[in-house]
A = this chain, B = another copy of it.
Amino acid sequence: MELKDKRRPSTLFFPKPVALVTAAAGGRDNVMTAAWVNVACMDPPMLCVSVRSSRFTHGLIQQSGQFVVNMPGEELLEAVELCGNVSGRDGDKFQLAGLTRQKALKVEAPLVAECPLSIECEVRHSLELGSHTLFIGEVMVVWLDDRHTDEAGHPLVERMRPFVLNYREYWGMGERLGTFGSGAPPFRVIP
């Protein structure tokens, strides 16, 4: 059990969710692939996304104080790859990637219509950490495509087909392994 190998500090952490982050300011908008995204708070609901300061999207979020996190399914892999490797300074990535803008409710940034899940956020904090800025946004509206839910309105993961980045590889979902909180261990469960 002492087999681990020490390495220099790095960002070698995974799995990371694959998301498309949209932003808009000053009459321009953009869509960027981001994997450094997650939930930051439950009450109030907040997401955080880390964006390199040289990115076109970074300026759009800073100017507008708004962003949208969109969750693509596997069928959007090519669009995701393009949106992670091309700059919005060089063209309209929605057009290049074949993505459709859909009007958001509370923010200027467009939703990505092809994504089953989109979450509108307003920036509450931003931290300049070095190469990247961590934007922490309060969730204003959640959009969930009704073709991707069951009758109770719960998301159907097998239809949404989210995917992740492991190291630098995209991986799809395999099997459902279990449900959080179903273990019923013989101890006090945290409320």
A interface residues (Cβ-Cβ under 8 A, vs B): 1-17, 35-48, 50, 52, 54-55, 69, 71, 74, 77-78, 81-82, 84-87, 90-91, 96, 100, 102, 105, 111, 113-114, 117-119, 124-125, 127, 129-132, 134, 136, 138-147, 149, 154-155, 157, 160, 162-183, 185, 187-190
B163 touches A177 (CB 8 A): yes
- Within the assembled complex, what's the spacing in Å between the Cα atoms of A169 and B19? 19
Q: Given contacts A11-B139, A142-B8, A143-B6, are A78 and B183 in contact (CB under 8 A)?
A: yes
Q: Given contacts A4-B102, A10-B45, are A172 and B170 in contact (CB under 8 A)?
A: no
Closest approach, in angstroms, between the C-beta of A9 and any C-beta of chain B? 4
Nearest CB to that of A129 among chain B residues? B41
Instruction: Give which listed residue, B50, B141, B163, contacts A40 with CB less than 8 A.
Output: B50
Chain B residue numbers with a CB within 8 Å of A90 are: 187-188
Nearest CB to that of A178 among chain B residues? B170
B190 touches A87 (CB 8 A): yes
